[in-house]
Structure 1
Amino acid sequence: MEKFVDIYQRACERKGSELALQALLSDVLSPSEIAAIPADRFLACFTETVFQSGFVWSVVRNKWPGFEAAFFGFEPKKMVLLNEQHIERLCQDERIVRARQKIVTVPQNAQMILDIEKEHGSFGQFIADWPVDYITGLWLHLKQHGSRLGGNIAAYSLRKLGIDTFILTKDVESYLRHHQWLDAGLTSKKGLKQCQSAFNEFQQQSQLPMTHISQIIAYSVGDNRVGMA
């Protein structure tokens, strides 16, 4: 199988130079920085990604100040108190995207956060303590205990917050399948285990964060060439 150094070199060529590639890589927080993220920021990020899923991302982004106001800053203890009347009012609130099936995820995911905090002290600490060599397990935990956090939603949310995770984009999936790392359903337990094994191997070879490995793989394949004839 291809070594990560070869993937890295190809990504550098496609992006024009090593410097250009490095400029495209996302920042990754330390465990102490992750532990310090307030619970409301996790809930806000989950909500933003849920609303962006299957929708125009820029619309949600442009309306985000309205979301923050409508949901009172996404404080979990306040959000679990949303009753049917509050939900109905939010469904008519022009400051946000009025999708009821997504609005109701806010109190549900707020409850998940509060439940985890009871056991772990803080949601940020729970996330910070999760081993990156089993990050797919965190995705599954959030999917199972939260609302509409399946697919890539958990991974995208974590990435936005600076938490180290790979994301199974189409380019990444294509690479893993082409190089025989993945031969199962992408979101099946077998498929996730295969993906995790691939990224663990690449991390051992490179000593890079999962985030950077994921981005470099994506930049090394697909229709994203820059600086090449």
Structure 2
Amino acid sequence: MAREKFDQIYARAAARKGGDAALESLLATPLTADEIKAIPDSRWLAAFSEKVFQSGMSWKVVRSKWPNFEEAFFGFDIEKMLLMPTEMWERKATDPAIIRHLGKVMTIPANAQMIHEAALKHGSFSAMVADWPGENITGLWRYLKKHGQRLGGNTGPYTLRVMGKDTFIVSQDVEAYLRHTGIIDGGKDTQRSQQAMQQAFHAWQQESGRPLCQISQVIAFSLGDNRV
């Protein structure tokens, strides 16, 4: 099947959502590169950690306890995270004020190390993310998976989206669309599939002038259980 033009996808999504204005009201707007560069690196560690804990758990429960995480982990200050000995991490993982899960707690120092190493090369982790080209956004996904802990799958991309970096998301609806149209036919996390997705999204971006996040939202709204 030939790749659909973006205006065809948009028209279908708008019809399902009650018109162009209603659809536009649902679309996210990414931050500018300068706005991303202004984000302290501690906020990236907090965001990655929150998404790791939300994986397989109630997002509502994690959000309700997150102030306790901020207190327990000193606002996710990178230097403080790197100085904490293993015994302290093990004690933190038994704190009833947070969600007690040693494996997920231990991603915090690992991802702090990833952020620290990127900051040494780029000035800050935020600068690296801000300058990462959108035409290779799946390369940033792979970077997070390779150098971080538990940041594969949609965890890394969802964190990027939450933090304002422009990225598409391979949600269930988006994956279903990509498979139905033959853009991907193997595992969605393989490099071959990610390259095919990247090419398709880049083409839609060239057609529409829209950010990647809006393109993936429009695709998701164009099918699945999301009628008005």
- Taking structure 1 as the reference length, the TM-score comes to 0.97
Please say if 1:95 is aligned against 2:100.
Answer: no
Q: SS of 2:83's equivalent?
A: coil
Gaps of 5+ in 2: none
Which residue of 29, 38, 52 corresponds with 2:40?
38
Which residue of 12, 15, 32 corresponds with 2:14?
12
Residue 163 of structure 1: aligned partner = 165
Percent sequence identity is 52
Alpha-carbon shift at residue 13 of structure 1 (Å): 1.0
Deviations 1:48-102 (A, max 9, x none): 0000011111110111111110111001111112222211221221221111100
Equivalent residue letter for 2:163: L
Deviations 1:86-132 (A, max 9, x none): 11221221221111100000001001111111111111110011000
Conserved 8 A contact 1:4-1:206? yes
Equivalent residue letter for 2:39: I
Gaps of 5+ in 1: none
Q: SS of 1:80's equivalent?
A: helix
Conserved 8 A contact 1:143-1:150? yes
Residue 108 of structure 2: aligned partner = 106
Equivalent residue letter for 1:138: L
Residue 23 of structure 1: aligned partner = 25
Q: Distance in 2 between matches of 1:26 and 1:95?
A: 33
RMSD across aligned positions (CA):
0.8
Which residue of 62, 65, 84 corresponds with 1:63?
65
Q: SS of 2:35's equivalent?
A: helix
Q: SS of 2:183's equivalent?
A: coil
Equivalent residue letter for 1:91: A
Q: Distance in 2 between matches of 1:148 and 1:169?
A: 18
The count of aligned residue pairs is: 226
Residue 185 of structure 2: aligned partner = 183
- Taking structure 2 as the reference length, the TM-score comes to 0.97
Alpha-carbon shift at residue 214 of structure 1 (Å): 0.6
Moved over 6 A (4+): none
Residue 215 of structure 1: aligned partner = 217
Q: Distance in 1 between matches of 2:222 and 2:85?
A: 48
